[in-house]
Structure 1
Amino acid sequence: MRVAIVTESFLPQVNGVANTVRHIVDRLVTRGHEPLVIAPAPGPGHYGDVEVLRVRSFDLPRYRSFPVALPDLSVERRLAAFRPDLVHLASPIVLGAAGLRAARRLDLPTVAVYQTDVAGFARHYGLRVDPLLARWVAHLHRRATRTLVPSHASREHLEGWDVPNLHLWRRGISLDLFGPRQRDPLLVRSWTGGDPSLTVVGYVGRLAAEKQVRRLREVAAVPGIQLVVVGDGPERPWLERHLPGARFTGLLRGAELARAFASLDVFVHTGASETFCQTVQEAQASGVAVLAPAAGGPLDLVEHRRTGMLYPPEDASLLRSHVGTLAASPDLRHQLAERALRQVSQRSWPQVVDELLDVHYAAVLAPAGHAGHPTAA
């Protein structure tokens, strides 16, 4: 099977979309299929033995680490030459729109994955185009053969825009990388200064406005904790000024990231616009108690006081209160972490991508699944 993956982001960018595409490509190759990746420049023209067609792009003015591809005729030309069995659209917005248009002209089935709340992203950056962006994203998904959503909240969102043929497809977790075994007492000691009375509370992710990371100032006010911030982004200078007692690790990857995750006592997520929230899964797989907003993707991943704790995203007092409760209750942290670890142990990336291939790809490739394209809305 030949699969063309048109993605809004790919390596060397580090984010949920790029990471998911990487795992899909790896599994396709392992199973003997032939993928092609079409992604924004800059970046290498190959990922292993897989071709990556790079399309010219520009940097967002306030988010320069996220290049946005420009519509390019090379997309349709390369798809026509590659002759894929289907086109996978990873979080389609701009480049994905070009890929969708080309696929429809070539009469190719499409699987579109909704992964980024671009309207919410724009709203957090003060761009008054969020209704327009929401309509545009819904328009693209209405024209795809099948749309995959990562959570029930995402499904409800797209149903509200009359997007048909929605199917739940969650993200996987690298269980060979993340785990409680990665906990490092020396790292914990370096964070706490050797003070065993401190509970290590950490945030892991992009330090950006859409993640609402300035709420970490509320977390830092809880007594008896050591706040650790793992990641990088445009909000880091503000956080460093306002959180003088926090430890900042910068961007971590691979084994270093797994070690940092497992060395936390509590993981706190601050963003309320997550379609899934992969870092919640990674914390759970690391054996760490999770506190997340009761909104969006975390609602599918965290059952309050069973596999983690949830707080109303608008309630600062409850955010602080729940951090304090977890900091003071090692037994509660252990119980929450243990149940969550059992829950995520069945979500390896190979299992999740096999579901993509054997269920969702198979459905659009079947004669009944590809009876023409959905009409434009």
Structure 2
Amino acid sequence: MGALAESRPGPHRILVVSDAWHPQVNGVVRTLTTVVKELRAAGDTVEVIGPDRFASFPMPGYAEIRLAIAPGRKLARMTEAFAPDAVHIATEGPLGWAMRRICLKRGWRFTTSFHTRFPEYLHARTRIPTAWSWAVMRRFHEAGSGTFCATPSLARELAGQGFTHVVPWSRGVDLARFRPDAAAHGAPETWEALPRPIFLYAGRVALEKNIGAFLALDLPGSKVVVGDGPQRAALQKRFPHAHFAGYRENGALARAYAQADVFVFPSRTDTFGLVLLEALASGTPVAAYPVTGPLDVIGETPVGALDEDLRAACLRALGTDRARCRAHAEQYSWEACASRFRDSLVPVGG
């Protein structure tokens, strides 16, 4: 009952099923997109099945996220046509549950990954007890042969919730795209002339990101929010002195990181936070709470500051050696991330 690489050498046919896929923009999509690219470059045949291939409806509260409607039969036909050597289920949405049922019906082994703390998100929005949601999540993942998770602290948390097949799977960063000299390339942003220091948040503008905690801080200089999402209008109204730059991608996002003095990560619920690595690769220090993600990426290293007093963390992060930030990020590569992913897959036939 070994791993995929041990069961059959050479290239493999790998099926990834995910409710998070293009045109969505988030950390899960970025991770899967990059890993799939690396696997294909190494010779594997990878098929990704996402909600873009099904009739779908917008997720309540997140219109940009589409959920597949009754995908079971069509998904089964797609799976049969592809004939995978290994199946990985990336999310716990309609597609994830449907693929789980297909695998269990056929007696196939599969792996899953834990990207999002849905129990906490649901509790924040609906007050549904987290114990109920954790029970559902545990049922979903424990049917598989391994649950991939990004950090040691998250692995400990999952173990505490009764997960018994946790597999470490860290993340990477595009070191060519996110770099300290990115600020010198491309058109300048309107917020570059704002009073310094510039404290930056970049990512989805949503309730679970806890952005209000950052914007409410009494800090010198300016606060900038790069990104879009369902909470943007409310935050702009509540914090009129903050600068909301909207969605940025490609070179513009890289420039935003490099032009900031401190990257502020106010989330308490993210399982990793790819943006942490992107900021560090750009030479920008991080200020965050001491929670899963920042504790694993930053820890005790001198590339930022972690504190329950987020204002204190922001001020301590100022003046951090930007070269050290870049050097720290260089320890993470997408090639290693993809290799670990592939090595942890299991053959469908056992």
CA deviation vs aligned residue, 1:183-213 (integer Å, no higher than 9, x gap): 2499778425365xx2011001111001011
Q: Secondary structure at the match of 1:340?
A: helix
- Residue 90 (structure 1) aligns with: 90
Structure 1 segment 1-377 matched on structure 2, within 5 A: 1-41=12-52, 54-72=53-71, 73-128=73-128, 130-184=130-184, 190-193=190-193, 195=195, 198-219=196-217, 221-222=218-219, 224-304=220-300, 306-312=302-308, 318-327=309-318, 330=319, 333-334=320-321, 337-357=322-342, 359-361=343-345, 364-365=346-347, 371=350
Q: Which runs of at least 4 in structure 1 moved beyond 6 Å after TM superposition?
A: 185-189
Name the residue aligned to 2:9: none
Question: Which residue identity is paired with 1:248?
Answer: F
The offset of 1:339, in angstroms, is: 2.9
Name the SS of the counterpart of 1:172 in structure 2: coil
Q: Relative to structure 2, which stretch is displaced further, 265-274 or 151-160?
A: 151-160
Matched residue type, 1:310: L
Distance in structure 1 (CA, Å) of the matches to 2:88 and 2:303: 33
Normalising to structure 1: TM-score of the pair? 0.84
Residues 70-126 of structure 1, C-alpha deviations (whole Å, 9 max, x = no match) = 342211222122110011111233311111221222333312111111112212323
Q: Is the 8 A contact 2:215 2:223 kept in 1?
A: no
- For structure 1, which runs of at least 5 residues remain unmatched after alignment? 42-53, 313-317, 372-377
Per the alignment, residue 44 of structure 1 pairs with none
TM-score by length of 2: 0.90
Alignment partners' CA distance in 1, 2:157 and 2:166 = 11
Which residue identity does 1:272 align to in structure 2? R
Alpha-carbon distance in structure 2 between the residues aligned to 1:370 and 1:155: 27
In the TM superposition, what whole-angstrom CA distance separates every residue of 1:276-296 from its partner, at most 9, and x where no partner exists? 111111111111010111111
Structure 1: distance between partners of 2:211 and 2:155? 26
Structure 2 gap ranges (5+) = 1-11
Q: For residue 297 of structure 1, report the CA deviation from its aligned partner.
A: 1.7
Greater RCO structure (CA 8 Å; 6+ sep): 2
C-alpha distance in 2 between matches for 1:194 and 1:145: 51
Equivalent pairs, count: 338
SS at match of 2:303: coil
CA distance in 2, matches of 1:188, 1:256: 9
What is the RMSD computed on CA atoms of the aligned residues?
Answer: 2.1
How far 1:57 moved relative to its partner? Answer: 2.3
How big is the shift at 1:230?
A: 0.4
Change (3 A) 1:326 1:150: closer
Is contact 2:305-2:316 (8 Å) kept? no
CA shift for structure 1 position 150: 0.6
Corresponding position of 2:5: none
Q: Is the 8 A contact 1:180 1:287 kept in 2?
A: yes
Give the counterpart letter for 1:215 in structure 2: A
